[in-house]
Chain A
C-alpha cells in the first residue's frame, strides 16, 4: 500500500526538511497526547502486536499487479487507536528504512502517509460503528478509506516536492503519480477486505479489545 519508495536524495532539500518537520510535529503531538491521557495496558500489547504484524507484512512483495506490499496500517489504527497507530507507523518505517526499504531521508513523509492511514481508518471505523454498521462492513470500509487517504497523501507529497533529476515536467509527473495513486486505491480494496475479516474475527472472540463489548451482533458464532 501507500509507501514512498524513492531513493535517498530524490526530494529537494526544502521538501525533505518540510516533511521531516511536519512528521516530527505529528509525532510530537501524538506523544504529548499519550503522555497526558495515558494508555491502557492492553493497548500497549495491541500496539506491539500491530507493529510486528505491520512490519512483517511491509516486507512481503506480493506478485499482484506487478508487485505490491500491504501495510496493515488500517488494521493497526482500528485496533491500537490513532495515537499509537501513528507511533507504529514511525517505528515500522524506521525499521524498514534500516533494511533499505524506503529512504531514511523520507521517514518524515512516509510516517505522515502511514499515520494518516491509521488515523483515518480509526475515526472512520468509530463513525460507522456509531451509525450501527456491522463490524465487517465498518472495518473493511474504514480500512479502505484510510488506505485511500494515505495513497492520495503520498501522491500529493511527491507532486508538491518534485523529484530531483526527473526528466518529467511537473504536469507529466502529476499524471504518472496519479496512476500510482489509482493503483494503490485498487489494492486498498484487497487490504480492506483482509482487515474486515481480521476485525470481524477479533470482534467475535474478544469484543472488549475493540471496545465493542456492548454490541451483541458479532458475539455469536465463534468462541475462543
Chain B
C-alpha cells in the first residue's frame, strides 16, 4: 500500500482518538476525580504492602461492602464453588490421556 495512504489512515485514527480523549478530559472534569482515585489506590497499595508478607495475626479480611452488605455467605459459597471447580479441573487434567499429573 502506498505510504501516504498508510500514514493518512494512521493520522485519521489518531485524530479520532485524540478528539475522543479531549472530550473525555472535559467530560470527566479534567480527569481529576479519576486521577485522584488512581493515585490513592497506588499509594494505598504502597503503604499497605509494606508489612510482612505473611501475617497470621491479621486473619482473613473480607471486603467491607461484602461484610456490611450481609453477603458473606454468598461470598463463601462462591469461594467454595471456585475451589471445587479448580480441584475438579486438576483431577480431570491428571486423569485424561496425556495429562501431566
Contact = CB atoms under 8 A, between A and B. Distances in A.
A in complex with B: yes
Interface of A: 5, 7-10, 13, 16-17, 20, 59, 61, 65-69, 98-102, 105, 131-134, 137-138, 140-141, 144-145, 148, 164-165, 175-176, 178-189, 192
Given A66-B31, A99-B46, A133-B1, A184 B24 contact: yes
B60 to A, nearest CB: 12
A222 B13 CA distance: 28
Given A67-B35, A100-B46, A164-B65, A144 B25 contact: no
A59 B39 CA distance: 10
Nearest to A186: B21
28 contacts: A8-B64, A9-B69, A16-B78, A59-B42, A65-B35, A66-B34, A67-B35, A68-B38, A99-B46, A100-B42, A132-B1, A133-B1, A137-B9, A137-B10, A141-B10, A176-B28, A179-B25, A180-B24, A182-B22, A182-B25, A182-B27, A183-B28, A184-B21, A184-B24, A186-B18, A188-B17, A189-B17, A192-B14
Contact of B14 (A7, A67, A189): A189
B41 A182 contact: no
B59 interface: no
Interface of A is mostly: helix
B63 A105 contact: yes
Interface of B: 1, 3, 6-7, 9-10, 13-14, 16-18, 20-28, 30-32, 34-39, 41-42, 44-46, 48-49, 63-66, 69, 71, 74-75, 78, 82
Contacts of B39: 61, 67
B35 A10 contact: no
Contacts of B7: 137
Nearest to B26: A179
Tell me which of A144, A176, A189 has the highest count of chain B C-beta atoms within 10 A of its own C-beta.
A189
A148 B64 CA distance: 33
Contacts of B25: 65-66, 179, 182-183, 186
A13 B63 contact: no
B64 A101 contact: no
